[in-house]
Structure formats: C-alpha cells, structure tokens
Chain A
Amino acid sequence: MTTMTTTTTTTTTTTTAGHGFWRMAYLGFCALVFAFLIAPILVIVPLSFNAEPYFTFTEGMLRLDADAWSLRWYRQIMEDEEWSRALANSLLIGVSATVLATVLGTLAALGLSNPAMPARRFATGLLISPMVTPVIISAAGMFFFYSNLGLAQTHLGLILAHAALGTPFVVITVTATLAGYDENLSRAAASMGAGPLTVFRRVQLPLIAPGVVSGGIFAFAASFDEVVVVLFMGGIEQRTIPRQMWSGIREEISPAILAVAVFLIVFAVLFLLTVEWLRRRNAR
C-alpha cells in the first residue's frame, strides 16, 4: 500500500480541457487495441463466402453482388472426405482425452485443495508443467518415447498425449472452484452418516460441477486446437482438423481453410459463452 501523505504535499491544478483530450486519446487508443484484437478474426468471416479463390475482397463483394458471394468453400469442405475424417479424428481424440483429463484432474484438484496434502506446492508445479512447457519440447520428447512404446501413429498415443497436455487446465479450474467450497458442507454431510464417496457425489460434485465442466471444456479446446504433437506423432490415420489446416496453410492455401476457420470461430464463441456462463453461476 502506498501512503497518500506524499501526494498531499504537492498541489497542482488540472485543466479540464487537457483532461478531456487525454481521456479521448486514451479511449481512442483502447479502441484501436480492441480493433487489433478482434478485426483479424472478423475479417475472415465474410471472406469465407468469396466466390473467387482469393483471400481478399473482390470488387463484386464490395458492391454486394449476389454472384460474388457463395457457399462453394463450405460445400467443398462438407464434401471432402479428408475434412470429415479429420473432424471424426479431432472429436475422437478430443473427447477421449477430455474424459481422461477431467477425471484425473478433478481427483487431483480435490487432493491439492486439501491443506493436508504433502509437498503441495511441488506437486502443483509438476502437474501444471505440461501447460507451460513449450509444446515443441513436449512433442519432441513424446515422439521418441511413444515411438519406443509403439504408440506413435496410433489414436491411443495421441489421446494420452493430449490428455497429459489438458490436465493442467482441469486442475487449475477445479482448484479455483474448490477455493470457494465450504468444507463444513462435507463435514455436515459426513456427520449425518454419509460416506466419503456419497459426500463427494451428492454434496461436493454438484457444487464444483461448473468448475469441472469448465476445465473439461478448456481441455477439449486445447486438444481441438493442438497441432504440434499431431504433427510429430500422428500418421495419416490420425489427421485432425488443425493438422489438416496446417498443411493447407503451408502448402496449397485455398479459401476452404477460411470456411473451416469460421466453423472454429463459432466453436470458440460457444466454448467461451459456456465457460463464462458457468463462471457466473459459480460466482453466485
């Protein structure tokens, strides 16, 4: 805390005009930053309806000619076997990894929130480390290790890898929710004869469920967007949507990528709204 005695000694007059100018400049600057954040994402939405194979607004589009706009890229990804296979792979890997990460992460968060947990800080550090380790290093290490175990180029290998990378999200969100959990509720339930499992299922879980679900969504989103591990460890059979986008961007970049991107933006907004809704529910 800074003491305010120091500031009282200086007396200065502020001109309201100057104040207003700076205020406007400040708001203008913030508006620019918001534009920087959001415009790149918005700009590809209209471009994905481009009738031409270009990445820029054609004159026809600007004149709002109906012919210049089309759904051809959406049709193309719908009909393309590779994209649908990629979607199936992304879902299979994402959902399985999420289930694994959510179960293990929630259990661990319960333990970590307990003040009795030995070496709590160290364990937390270890369990969060997959999130801060550069993914290129994780991917390189996993490639060697999983190859030796015969798990490279298998769905199982990617599920395990993504689950490992997703657990920190679950641990963090559930621990945060547990911080607001009143331990007396468990005690009360136990004093009325409920076993630890019943206490967890009937009392604790319903209360921390928003955190668990948020964590799961984070883990799923992380897997759904992961490309480096898939790049290193996945074969042709394990191509996911980000992997498919990666080669699209690097090799033959076509506006179909933009159509996929729009789908992913819709997902992102859905995820975001869900998590925010859960957070608000939890806050209440």
Chain B
Amino acid sequence: MTRKDAMGRRFMLPGLAVLLPGLAALLPRLAALLPGLAVAVLALLPCGRAAAQEQTLTLVSWGGAYARACEKGYIERFERETGIDVRIEDYNGGLAQIRAQVDVGNVYWDVVDMELPDMVRGCDEGLFVPIDVDELAPGADGTPAADDIAEDGLTECGPTNLYYATVVVYNDARIGTAKPSSIADFFDLEQFPGRRGMRRSPLANLEFALMADGVPLDEVYATLDTEAGVRRAFRKLDSIKDRIVWWEAGAQPPQMLADGEVVMTTAYNGRIFNAQVLEDQPFVIVWDGQLLDTGGLVVVEGTRNLEAAKAFVRFANTARAMADVGRYISYSPSRRSAMNLISTHAETGVEMSPHMPTSPENIGRALHNDWEWWSDNGEEMNERFSTWLAR
C-alpha cells in the first residue's frame, strides 16, 4: 500500500503541474503549446508503466469489504511469497464482460471471483481454463482436496472457496417497534412501510418472492421450473415494485441502510457483519429464507498470465487462505478442514462463528441455491427480469 501511495503522489503532482500552467498558457498560443503538452503527458505515462513491469495479475472481484478481506486474508501474502503483483478490479458479477473479452479475443482479466452458477455456465461455454481437482492442495489435516471440498463446490473449471448468504436485513434504529422476523415480512408493506433495497438481478429475488408467497423451502426450485411459478414470483415482486431501490454493488445496501434510503434490504451477510462490527451500525439480519450461495475463482481462457493465474487460484483455495478471509468477513470456507481454523475477527476480536452463514444457528431456514437451475435458466430469467424492470 505504501508503494501505491508514493506512486500516487509522484503521478499526481507532475500531472497537475503540467496541467495548470498549461491551461494558463493556453490563452495566447495553443497551437504552439499542444505538442509540448502531448510530450509532457507521454513522458508521464511510462513512469506508470515502469512500476507495473513486474508481473501483474488482474483479479476481478466484488469490491468493498469483501475485496479488502481477501486482500488482507491472503492476497498480500501471495504477493510477498511470489513477487507477483495482484491488481484488484471491481465488478458486479455476471459473465457478460468476460464473454465480450473472449469473443473479441482481447482478454485483460486474468482471474475472476464469481458465483457458482456462472462458474458452471462459463465453463460450459469455454470461457474458463479447466482446473483439475488433483492440482489442488490437500486440506489442513492432509485430506485430499477432492474429499475436503464440499462436493457441490467442484467444477471442471475450479473449486469454490466460500459460502455466503443473501439475507434480509433491517436497520433497528429506523424500523419502529415491530421487528421483521421472516422473509414474508420483507414483502409486507402494511406492517413495515418504507422502501426496500434489492439486488438488480433475478437471482435470489425470485426465490425470496416465492418463499414470501408461501412456497416451502424445498419446493422453491420445482415451482420456479414452471411458467406459472415464474409468473407467481414476478407477481409477488410486483406488489412491492414501486417501493424497491435497486442495488448492484455489494457495498451499496449497507450504505443505503445507514443513510435511511431504505428501511430493509437484501444484502450479502458479510457486508452487514462488517458494518455491524466495524461501524457499530444497528443492523439486524433476519436469518429466515436466506439464499445460501457459494463461489470461487476462475481463470479466464486466453489470459496472458496463465501460470500465475493458476497459482493464484490454488493459493486462494488452500484451507489457510479461506480461513484467513474468515478472519475479516463472515464468509464460511468451502473446505471442511478450514472450518476448524475459524476463530475471531482480526480487528475487533469478535467471535466469528455465530455470524457465519453455515453455522448451525443460522443455517436452519436457509435455501440452498440450485446452481443447475440457474445455469440453465439464468440467461432467460435475466432477460425477463430486465423487461419486467423497464415496464
């Protein structure tokens, strides 16, 4: 980080120094000045390039608290141990940008952190490099990777690393005396008036709508598999549509909740945990009908840093790396052997396990994401969702 800061100053000051007198001098004779300015700028650029000359890996992740947790949890250690510089970019999920890069043949993302349904779908489409389970490190207790990682978490293009949940959460300071206790309360505008935050995506929202409409946990995907079920989900969403504020980045819902932009929102549980312990926000998670998801890292086909990218994926999949992420954000490791390494929050000393989405007290009413259904129907649902949204 210190290196980055120093470089920032080195960069910024000459930049401004060139610009301001440049503009002042613009007045008399721009024609004579332009080439000079261009040369000055060109001279500026290589100093950025020189710093990036060591091998750089572009990791595309979810930004905010999660990216910071990964950075502190294992990325900094990876950089120290390998000398490879990892540059973290933010995105909000989905395959579109990767498909565009692969289709056009100009791949500039190396490793991407993504949700399991997208991992499977992208793998089918040939967007990712296959990674064999035998290449992966054994667990903390020596169990081979194939047995250590939950069976759902192995795809042809790599393992998943973490479990996380999309939960309903409210701001205790603003909700009033009655407190929401179930997923149905999220859709209850009469008892809990005010705006709701939801992710701008059909994933999780369709499930929430059906559960709130009375569909039991184990029938949610069977219902969604029918046209009538999909319509039912959209109808339920219709009932609160004009009270929904849509979010795209995981960092937004805690902010919206803190600002009072919404009284209740769906959010990733780890982001809420961070707001609770680091910012003392009075947020309360409703552990009912939350969608339990898993995700991992994939290497984009056509990357210019294949070996480094694979090494990074293997590194991130070690039990230690997973557990270390769990010291900064409440996401559970996908390796059984890493579960025992979970202890307290690195900065505040809070016991982590009660906040984990897989802990016994939280997982009881969880809906497990059916990745197969989403990888088959995701495209179609996205299209219907965007049509529904724009009406």
Which residue numbers of A lie inside 8 Å of B, CB to CB? 78-81, 83-85, 87-88, 91-92, 95-96, 98-99, 102, 147, 150, 152-153, 209, 212-213, 216-217, 235-237, 247, 250-253, 267, 270, 274, 277
Q: Complex formed: what's the CA distance from A20 to B9 in Å? A: 59
Interface residues of B in 207-266 (CB under 8 A from A): 248-249, 251-252, 255
Q: Could you say which residues of chain B place their CB within 8 Å of the CB of A102? A: 31, 34
How far, in Å, is B17 (CB) from chain A's closest CB?
12
Tell me whether B63 and A251 are in contact (CB under 8 A). yes
User: Quick check: which of B35-43, B173-181, B290-298, B311-319 contacts chain A, the rest being far away?
Assistant: B35-43
How far, in Å, is B62 (CB) from chain A's closest CB?
10
Q: List 20 A-B contacts (CB under 8 A).
A: A81-B4, A84-B11, A88-B15, A88-B44, A91-B41, A91-B44, A95-B34, A98-B34, A99-B38, A152-B106, A153-B106, A209-B29, A209-B31, A213-B26, A213-B30, A250-B248, A252-B63, A252-B249, A252-B252, A267-B23
Which residue numbers of B lie inside 8 Å of A, CB to CB? 4-5, 7-9, 11-12, 15-16, 18-19, 23, 26-27, 29-31, 34-35, 37-38, 41-42, 44-45, 48, 58, 63-64, 87, 89-90, 92, 104, 106, 108, 248-249, 251-252, 255
Q: Complex formed: what's the CA distance from A274 to B26 in Å? A: 8
Tell me whether B9 and A79 are in contact (CB under 8 A). yes
Q: Could you say which residues of chain B place their CB within 8 Å of the CB of A78? A: 8-9, 12
Q: Complex formed: what's the CA distance from A94 to B139 in Å? A: 52
If A88-B41, A88-B44, A95-B37 touch, whether A251 touches B249 (CB-CB below 8 Å) is yes
**Which of A95, A212, A277 is packed against the most chain B CB atoms within 10 Å?**
A95
Q: Complex formed: what's the CA distance from A5 to B12 in Å? A: 68
Q: Could you say which residues of chain B place their CB within 8 Å of the CB of A153? A: 106, 108
Q: Could you say which residues of chain B place their CB within 8 Å of the CB of A253? A: 255
Q: Could you say which residues of chain B place their CB within 8 Å of the CB of A95? A: 34, 37-38, 41
Q: Which of B7, B11, B18, B90 is the one whose CB lies under 8 Å from A251?
A: B90
Tell me whether B34 and A91 are in contact (CB under 8 A). no
Tell me whether A247 and B48 are in contact (CB under 8 A). no
If A147-B106, A235-B108, A251-B252 touch, whether A87 touches B23 (CB-CB below 8 Å) is no
Q: Complex formed: what's the CA distance from A85 to B15 in Å? A: 9
Tell me whether A236 and B48 are in contact (CB under 8 A). no
